[in-house]
Amino acid sequence: MKNGIQFNLRGEKCYLSPISDGFNGEVISYNTSKQPNLEHINDMINKAFDKNNNLEGLIFHYG
């Protein structure tokens, strides 16, 4: 659970979207992109699900 972060790298906008565990703060997955689009978000979510497929009790919050 994190907000996306926009930053400049060598004059270009870049976007970082991490997903962290709300219990212990561990970063579960992240994605970097030059555009904040659906592909960027889907990749971040798919990486999180690839890492842990146990969805029991999962609460997903983005905001």
pLDDT digits (tens, 9 = 90+) for 3-56: 688 999 999 999 998 888 888 888 888 889 998 888 888 888 888 888 877 778
Is 56 a domain residue? Answer: no
62 pLDDT above the threshold of 70? no
Is 63 a domain residue? Answer: no
Domain count, the chain: 1
pLDDT value for 15? 92
Query: Whole-model pTM?
Result: 0.70
Range of the domain at 19: 5-51
pLDDT value for 63? 59
pLDDT value for 26? 87
Structural tokens at position 20: 């962290």
Kindly list the distances between the CA atom of residue 2 and the CA atoms of 10, 11, 12, 16, in Å, as whole numbers in the listed order: 24, 24, 22, 10
Is 18 a domain residue? Answer: yes
Is 46 a domain residue? Answer: yes
1 pLDDT above the threshold of 50? no
Is 21 a domain residue? Answer: yes
Is 57 a domain residue? Answer: no
